[in-house]
């Protein structure tokens, strides 16, 4: 969140949570009490947030503090890095280099570390993942059976649905495209960079 101090952000989050829980705005006294500061200091914090465009407030009328659209957007969204591409087709060489940022919903993707990759290929099209899509990936080295994973195989990366074949002691990477074949690999040559937890698509 740009142009805002840590304490200002804390107060903004408090106001947002208070309104969500009570369906009305906190008073200056509520804010002062919550942060163990005097009402004059609380008023100064609110005034600064108004000047910065995060709050609106009617003068001399209690409980009229409201978050602006700017504040709502910044409180409910977060940016994650785009770390290159992943192959929804044949595996491609691993390249982890930040190519920019993508905005995701903070509440939906709140628990864990996330990054994004650009999809290249159509091997996952029947799972709704198309060439050019951004997949949102949660870092983990312990995927579950049936997860769509960013698989690292001998320094190459590919996007597939994972299944464990315990009987034959192997991992199956299954493309969601009936024209393509499964990939069978030894667990020792497999590493998971993360699991796909979302897809974002942009139109020109």
Q: Is the dihedral of CA 188, 193, 198, 201 positive or negative?
A: negative
Q: Residue 12 pairs with which residues in a beta bridge?
A: none
Query: Among this protein's residues, is 160 annotated catalytic?
Result: yes
Q: Residue 56 pairs with which residues in a beta bridge?
A: 66
Report how far Cα 84 is from the mean position of its chain's Cα atoms: 16
Q: Catalytic residue, from 57, 125, 138, 160: name it.
A: 160
Q: Is the dihedral of CA 63, 64, 65, 69 positive or negative?
A: positive
Q: Catalytic residue, from 123, 125, 189, 191: name it.
A: 123
- Beta-strand relationship, 92-93 and 148-153: unpaired
Q: Residue 67 pairs with which residues in a beta bridge?
A: 55
Rounded distance, CA 149 to CA 140, Å?
9
Q: Quick check: 14 and 21 in contact, CB under 8 A?
A: no
Q: Residue 149 pairs with which residues in a beta bridge?
A: 160, 195
- Beta-strand relationship, 114-120 and 183-185: unpaired
- Give the residue numbers annotated as catalytic, written as ranges: 123, 160
């Amino acid at each position: 969140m740009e142009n805002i101090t840590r304490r200002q952000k804390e107060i903004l989050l408090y106001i947002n949570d208070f309104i969500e829980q009570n369906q009305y705005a906190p008073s200056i006294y509520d804010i002062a009490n919550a942060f163990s500061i005097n009402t004059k200091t609380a008023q100064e914090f609110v005034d600064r947030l108004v000047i910065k465009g995060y709050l609106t407030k009617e003068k001399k009328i209690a409980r009229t503090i409201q978050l602006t659209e700017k504040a709502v957007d910044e409180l409910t969204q977060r940016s994650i890095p785009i770390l290159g591409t992943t192959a929804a087709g044949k595996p491609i060489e691993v390249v982890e280099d930040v190519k920019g940022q993508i905005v995701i919903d903070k509440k939906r993707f709140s628990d864990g570390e996330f990054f994004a990759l650009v999809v290249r290929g159509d091997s996952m099209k029947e799972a709704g993942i198309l060439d050019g899509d951004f997949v949102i990936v949660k870092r983990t080295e312990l995927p579950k059976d049936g997860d769509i994973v960013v698989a690292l195989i001998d320094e190459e990366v590919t996007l597939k649905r994972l299944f464990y074949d315990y009987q034959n002691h192997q991992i199956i990477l299954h493309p969601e495209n009936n024209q393509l074949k499964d990939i069978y690999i030894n667990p020792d040559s497999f590493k998971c960079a993360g699991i796909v937890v979302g897809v974002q698509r942009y139109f020109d």
